[in-house]
Structure 1
Amino acid sequence: MEIRDRVAVVSGGGSGIGRATVLELARRGARVIAADINLAGAEETADLAGREGGIVIARRCDVTHTEDLAGAMACAFEHWGQLDIVFNNAGIGGEDLFADDPGPWQRIIEINLVAVIDATRIAVREMRRAGKGGVIINTASMGGLLPMPDSPVYAASKAGVVNFTRSLGYLAAQDGIRVNAICPTFTDTPLVRRSGDERVEEVAKLVGGILQPEDVAAGVIELIEDESRAGAIMRVTVRGGRDYAREVRPY
């Protein structure tokens, strides 16, 4: 898909991978809704894009609320009359599976998996209604492809995103809607930095380095532009760069 003059909605657009992707889409001529529960962060993203001549609208969006997701996509139609690209990127980490309070790990599932399913459902319905196809990209993680003993619920949520995405590959032939996922390894984002700089550097040494949000944004751009990809799972790592997980076909 040619990005210029397209309309995109990016969740988690107020920081990290979401912000980097919003800015890159805007540089390439897309008009973007930067949706984030942190409106101030989304507004800062919009301001950064505007300084470079980009067109970005900030919108507050709690991805666990269906009405917020639907509102962000409706905003795209209200302003520009179309919706071509949806990047379901908002996510969280941090868990103590065996703590007394199940709230934290349940919220990981709600944001990282349930909200991705809900946003994809809404986006497909809107794109079908418009009848012009589109591209949906879901943020998973290398943790969705490999075990994470320290974060098993996070790994489970991202594995769910991977197989959910693979299962929607058929939409490309049926509706012209390509659904793909991106699986970055350890990435330098505000979410990751919450664990402390010392911990970040320690993990970076273990995995051989740390990605920058712009590295992941470049993968998102590739998934948008490469019309051969549907139900694809892109891996982004420091050592291997960008490649694709083995395609899985149903029997």
Structure 2
Amino acid sequence: MTHPALQPGSVAVVTGGASGIGLAIAKRFAGLGLHVAIADLGRERLDAALKAVRADAKDGTQVLADEVDVSSPEALATLERTIADRWGGTDVVVNNAGIQPGSALFGPLSNWEKVFAVNLWGVIHGTRAFVPNMIRRGRPGLVINTGSKQGITTPPGDPAYNTAKAGVKVFTEALAHELRNTEGASGLSAHLLVPGFVWTELTKGERTEKPAGAWTAEQTADFMLKSLERGDFYILCPDNDVSRALDEKRIAWAAGDIVENRPPLSRWHPDWKDAFEAYLKQ
């Protein structure tokens, strides 16, 4: 069954909705008959996204696209008021905006600040801007925050991104618990979207063709909708290279570093390489 918040006439806001996973989700929502607000930066990108979402929308579905800096709580509060004035309130929030400029532990501090401002604070600000009034509305609702497998297994190479996405995981877990224990919020739930390798502006780099191992943004959006039907909190997406079973083993091994008192990130430690490979074959 379709989630009760995903009904014709419901209202959804998608940050980072001008491209990639956010755009694919916005198109799917509009196709279900939800009114959709796209929040992103870049007027030309937003205009193109607006046209694409409207092309997939059911008759009578309305779509708007606003320039919103998710690192600004004031900008998100303004968006919340705009949506409330136009459609009466919000039923679904997808805090999806993200950047990945790259980072190093002792590299430019500005990269860390930018990543945290968008990838972590953007999720926190978006939740705080929308959820209190969603609770007051007393309607079925969804809060979907986009995390990353890099925030769970934390591979070496981009510590700022990993740290921010780990924060999104912890924040969303806390939000789900809070909603479960808040009077009047029984119809409102939080979910952590954990994409696999997805072909988007964020991931393609200098490549011009989608690698065989990558999913499309549309595949990710469809998997998310099916997971929401099941009531999944952790929406752990596979891709064409990595199965659910392999993800589970990688995640379990990462947690095992603590339980087994192994070196951190032992999966990439030369002394544990053979043990990890043997574990995968079990």
TM surpasses 0.5: yes
Normalised to the residue count of structure 2, the TM-score between the two structures is: 0.76
Deviates more, 1:211-220 or 1:79-88: 211-220
* Alignment partner, residue 10 of structure 2: 6
Residue pairs, 1:26-175, within 5 angstroms: 26-54=30-58, 55-98=62-105, 101-170=108-177, 171-174=179-182, 175=185
Distance change (3 Å), C-alpha of 1:104 and 1:32: same
Q: Which has the higher strand share?
A: 1
Amino acid at match of 1:89: N
Is 1:234 equivalent to 2:257 in the alignment? no
**Alignment partners' CA distance in 2, 1:118 and 1:233:** 21
Contact 1:234 1:243 (C-alpha < 8 Å) held by counterparts: no
Is 1:222 equivalent to 2:226 in the alignment? yes
TM superposition shift of 1:242: 10
Amino acid at match of 2:191: N
TM superposition shift of 1:99: 5.3
Amino acid at match of 1:196: E
Deviates more, 1:89-98 or 1:18-27: 89-98
**Alignment partners' CA distance in 1, 2:245 and 2:121:** 26
Q: Secondary structure at the match of 2:175?
A: coil
Contact 2:105 2:159 (C-alpha < 8 Å) held by counterparts: no
TM superposition shift of 1:178: 0.6
**Alignment partners' CA distance in 2, 1:128 and 1:147:** 33
Distance change (3 Å), C-alpha of 1:153 and 1:79: same
Contact 2:71 2:118 (C-alpha < 8 Å) held by counterparts: yes
**Alignment partners' CA distance in 2, 1:39 and 1:133:** 32
TM superposition shift of 1:136: 0.3
**Alignment partners' CA distance in 1, 2:245 and 2:195:** 9
TM superposition shift of 1:68: 1.4
**Alignment partners' CA distance in 1, 2:51 and 2:164:** 32
**Alignment partners' CA distance in 2, 1:91 and 1:224:** 22
Q: Secondary structure at the match of 2:102?
A: coil
Identity across aligned pairs (percent)? 29
TM superposition shift of 1:125: 1.2
Is 1:16 equivalent to 2:20 in the alignment? yes
* Alignment partner, residue 178 of structure 1: 189
Superposed CA deviations along residues 69-122 of structure 1, whole A, max 9, x for unmatched, are 112222221211121000000001122325553101221111111111111112
C-alpha root-mean-square deviation of aligned residues, in Å? 2.5
* Alignment partner, residue 191 of structure 1: 202
Contact 1:137 1:220 (C-alpha < 8 Å) held by counterparts: no
Contact 2:38 2:66 (C-alpha < 8 Å) held by counterparts: yes
Normalised to the residue count of structure 1, the TM-score between the two structures is: 0.85
Amino acid at match of 2:207: D
Aligned residues: 237
TM superposition shift of 1:44: 1.3
Q: Secondary structure at the match of 2:145?
A: strand
Amino acid at match of 1:197: R
**Alignment partners' CA distance in 2, 1:221 and 1:111:** 24
Distance change (3 Å), C-alpha of 1:124 and 1:42: same
Contact 1:236 1:242 (C-alpha < 8 Å) held by counterparts: no
TM superposition shift of 1:124: 1.5
Amino acid at match of 2:218: E
